[in-house]
Amino acid sequence: MTATAQRCPRSLAALCIDGCTPTPRGTSPEHPGPTQATLRDHLCRTASADDSAGFVHTQPGGLGSGGHEGTPHPGVPTAVTLLCHNPQPRPCRPAALPWGCLRSSRKPTVSSPAAQGRSKAGASPALLLAQAQQARLLCQLPEPAPCTCGSRAPELNGSRRGGSRAGRQGAAGSRRAARPGGSPGTHRVLAVDATLAPRDPQAPGQFGHPVAVPDDKQEEAKSRWKEGNFNVYLSDLIPVDRAVADTRPAGCSEQRVHDDLPTTTIIMCFVDEVWSTLLRSVHSVLSRSPPHLVEEIILVDDFSTKEYLKEKLDAYMSQFPKVKILHLKERHGLIRARLAGAQVAKGDVLTFLDSHVECNVGWLEPLLERVRLSRAKVACPVIEVISDKDMSYMTVDNFQRGIFTWPMNFGWRQIPQEVIEKNKIKETDIIRCPVMAGGLFSIDKKYFFELGTYDSGLDVWGGENMEISFKVWMCGGEIEIIPCSRVGHIFRNDNPYSFPKDRIRTVERNLARVAEVWLDEYKELFYGHAYHLVLRRLDVGDLTQQIALRKRLQCRSFRWYLENVYPDLEAPLVKASGLLVNIATARCITVENTTLAFQTCDVNNEDQKFNYTWLRLLRHRDLCVAPSGTTGALGLRPCAGWESSVAWQHSSLAAARPELADHLVSEHLQPPACLEVDPSLQALRVSACNSANPYQKWQFGNYYAD
């Protein structure tokens, strides 16, 4: 197939080194080489897509290797090093490319026409270019752009790049500089996917396909499951840099992002993570992220016990200049481990990832674009599923968002179809998210610290996603799910890692701290759905700093959050209210001054109105109904809030009708006793519970959904 420059695929439309026109060997500044358009025309006439296997091998000594001779960088195709040559710095020419293309501070290792015809693998330049085309590694530029002298392409080499600090700052400044017209330029999202070695299309799990355990390996796979609570045997079988299908919605590849996106530090925390899974997570970031946007990848080892996560991991990651490993000297838990990584991060944006993920193509730029538009935006990718059983990569529905139900249980909820149709929501549209999952998100670093990071009183794991979500929304920020950013995640039925304390109690205590600081009066719903915490008299620790932080940030109320962010959450402040009617007599409890009476029901009588709260209080204004003395008498006393001695369980005593709440049981009495009417005296009392006694059955005027 022969193509003209005008018909050239866009992915082949741009090659650059040092921001100037690539020059074949034998040319000089006085006798410049071909312009970009000429070179592109040549490439299109010599590169055939039929030659491609779809994989690229970055040769040692290629572009972006961080100044370490012979060290490959995973983000740059060999084709560029073979076909471009810049023997020495020279003035910028009109055909030079703007920001967004690849750049090298060194001369390519293969530069002569003769040498270009043979690589170590024996591949021709045309084949390599076709491979780069299918891997979508080359810069995407629809037409030759005018040269802007003095501007340079972005650095690729992160914290170990060469040159002076002032020079690096200058390069960063030029990256953010505006176009001559006054505003930054844009480019299409780069679907980068590079590897250190050619991929084997026949390898197990390639392209995210499922893998079956051989019959003779079933027992081994079963025995190794407990190492990570997923199929570790298959994980080890699959390449650490496998390809996955591009699952982005149609239209994502055409979206444009700003040229001056902020850099990011990617933070992965782990403890005793499976070797192959951790490596696959890191490789997916390196392979599918534009190198100039990744300032560094910080791996935080939360005091792992596995030997392979010590010196062996250090040695393996040493080949990647941007990867840094922080070994903690004691167990901190996920929350504090993340903070340890954030404290030393150098990027403008913090991107938190779990250590058992696979980033898809084009995942990073859409996240950074949202943070660039507003530093108070927290951007989350769509979290797709990597099967814990066969390691297949599976896409998910685009119209989901993170929510919670009481008592603060995180979950995913589908956006109703009628809402999608009414609002004409497209698959690529940003989705507002009331609560994020918490493991994968990007946030402006300064904004993260302004928010107070995570509550330092939260232990190990659990509840941190609720805390950061409420904090962001109520203190002026937004949380968004970005459909054009996709990251696969291994979801497991259980966490395989140990907790220094009881896991359930750790999570419950964390959630209770969040409720006390952020839920205002709605914390009663949390405790009402987790009433055992009231009975246990849970100690949540000192909340002084967190309450002061909320006041200093001038955060909104939780009622505002419910009304503006999550209005579809059922959050009634009471479980039941209104008249409290006895079924047998059809008469109502009435408050007379500070005593209780039993009278004819009157819906207009405010002295007959009661609330049954989530804390199980039978409440009239500030007074609560409670047993009085030992004779079964009833009285009113000031509501104590958490005191179980004034609590009533409104439930059914009939095993056949457990959903029918008709008795009011004072469980703190021994044995438990029920509220009833003495039919002869028409007076209130408590006595032994009897499911068949109609004088012990009560009904409120209004009931609210749990």
The pair phi, psi for residue 654, each rounded to 5°, is -90, 120
Q: What is the DSSP string of 397-445?
A: -SSEEEEEETTTEEEEEEPPHHHHHHHT--TTS-EE-SS--SSSEEEEH
**Cα 347 to Cα 297: distance, rounded to the nearest angstrom:** 10
Contact 173, 44 (CB under 8 A): no
Per-residue pLDDT at 29 exceeds 50 = no
pLDDT value at residue 341:
98
Q: Which residues pair with 443 in a beta bridge?
A: 350
Residue 124 makes CB contacts below 8 A (sequence gap 6+) with 51, 117
**Cα 506 to Cα 502: distance, rounded to the nearest angstrom:** 6
Burial class from Cβ neighbours inside 10 Å (0-12, 13-18, 19+) for residue 32 reads middle
Q: What is the DSSP string of 10-66?
A: GGGSB--BTTB----TT--SSS----HHHHHHHHHHH--GGG--S--B--TT-TT-T
pLDDT digits (tens, 9 = 90+) for 440-492: 999 999 999 999 999 999 998 899 999 999 999 999 999 999 999 999 999 98
Pair (243, 116) in one structural domain = no
Least confident residue range of 155-164, 231-240, 300-309, 442-451: 155-164
Q: Is residue 557 part of a domain?
A: no
| Closest listed residue to residue 663, CA positions, set 598, 587, 591, 580 | 580
**Cα 105 to Cα 459: distance, rounded to the nearest angstrom:** 46
pLDDT value at residue 655:
62
Peptide bond into 658 cis (omega under 30): no
Can you tell me which residue has the tokens 């805390």?
467
Mean pLDDT computed over every residue of the chain: 78
Give the global pTM.
Answer: 0.72
Pair (332, 384) in one structural domain = yes
CATH at residue 272:
3.90.550.10
Q: Other C-beta atoms within 10 Å of 325: how many?
A: 16
Domain with 264 in it? 221-490
Chain centre to alpha carbon of residue 146: 39
Number of structural domains (the chain) is 3
**Banded model confidence at residue 382, pLDDT cuts 50, 70, 90:** very high
pLDDT value at residue 496:
65
**Banded model confidence at residue 642, pLDDT cuts 50, 70, 90:** low
pLDDT above 90 as % of the chain: 60
**Average pLDDT, integer, range 16-37:** 34
Pair (250, 176) in one structural domain = no
**Banded model confidence at residue 145, pLDDT cuts 50, 70, 90:** very low
Q: Is residue 519 part of a domain?
A: no
**Average pLDDT, integer, range 367-384:** 98
pLDDT digits (tens, 9 = 90+) for 533-567: 988 888 999 999 999 999 999 999 999 999 999 99
Which residue has better confidence, 87 or 285? Answer: 285
pLDDT value at residue 630:
64
Pair (157, 237) in one structural domain = no
Pair (293, 245) in one structural domain = yes
Q: Is residue 343 part of a domain?
A: yes
Which residue has better confidence, 327 or 574? Answer: 327
The residue among 162, 184, 206 that closes a domain is 184
pLDDT digits (tens, 9 = 90+) for 351-367: 999 999 999 999 999 99
pLDDT value at residue 493:
84
Which residue has better confidence, 127 or 445? Answer: 445
The residue among 135, 165, 184 that closes a domain is 184
| Cα dihedral 629/632/633/637 (nearest 10) | 60
**Banded model confidence at residue 120, pLDDT cuts 50, 70, 90:** very low
Pair (354, 479) in one structural domain = yes
Pair (248, 128) in one structural domain = no
Pair (178, 252) in one structural domain = no
